[in-house]
Amino acid sequence: MWIVGTIMLNICLFDGSRGYIMKLASILACSIFAVMMLMFASTGTNANADIVIQPGFEHSHDTHVTAGETITYFWFADADLHFTIRSPTGTTLLDEVSRSDAGSIDATVTGDYTFTWANEGASTANLDFTVNMFDGFETVEDAAWSFLIIGIIIVVIIVAIVIILLVVLLDGKKKETQPAGPCTAPLVAQPAGASGICPTCGSAMASDTSFCARCGTRIR
């Protein structure tokens, strides 16, 4: 709806060739924003943190997801850490000692998935991790509707661009075919004295006079 509103608002506010360019830029910006909002409408929560883990301590992070959702993770540290991932049922999904790792988990049950980093070394470890949860589409119908809406938005963008370009072209042709201003006939030189005015001093004189009575200019 806001795309249609933006198109109508721009038609009212802008005029001229530069106005059409502003319309196009505004419509494209709003449309791109709308598509991005739809594309990321299914993205869930995410967590990002920098943690300092002292020797003999651990840090845990719980991410609550629903069955069918996906968890992605990435982390790195400046020392070896004992990294584990456990499902809501307590099942260990991953158990390793490393300084970094990245991957994804498809949730099979609903609940909290626990990410744990344990510092079993003798020095302090600095941990940086990111955990994202993607909601996905609950049903095929939801996915179909989402793609249908995105398709409609793309069609609206294309139609708006075509309309604006056509208007710009028609406006340019109108300017090219506009009639020129009224033509003025070129002035035809009059023989000296034909108008009863001396061409030298501008004094009035009789039409049958051969010399100007004021300046003496010979007319004939």
Mean pLDDT per 10-residue interval, the chain, length 220 residues: 47 50 60 56 62 95 90 93 96 95 92 95 94 64 67 80 79 65 49 63 76 77
Locate 174 and state its tokens. 């109108």
CA–CA separation, 212 vs 191, rounded Å?
A: 15
Write out the H or E segment, with its range, that includes residue 86: strand 70-86
What pLDDT does residue 3 have?
Answer: 46
Residue pLDDT, tens place only, 38-80: 554 444 556 778 899 999 999 999 999 988 888 999 999 999 9
Report the C-alpha gap between 99 and 157 in whole angstroms: 47
**Predicted pLDDT of residue 217:** 79
Beta-carbon count within 10 A of 51 CB: 14
What would the pLDDT profile of 167-182 be if each residue is shown by its tens digit?
777 877 776 665 655 5
In this structure, the number of other CB atoms found within 10 A of the CB of residue 212 comes to 21
Quick one: which of 70, 65, 86 has its CA closest to 136?
Answer: 70
Nearest to 45 by CA among 114, 129, 135, 133: 133
- Answer yes or no: pTM beyond 0.75: no
Could you please report the per-residue DSSP string of 89-158?
Answer: T--EEEEEEEEEEEEEEE-SSSEEEEEEEE--SSS-EEEEEEEEEE---SSHHHHHHHHHHHHHHHHHHH
- H or E element in which residue 84 lies: strand 70-86
Task: Give the chain's length.
Answer: 220
Q: What's the per-residue H, E or C state across 20-43? A: HHHHHHHHHHHHHHHHHHHHCCCE
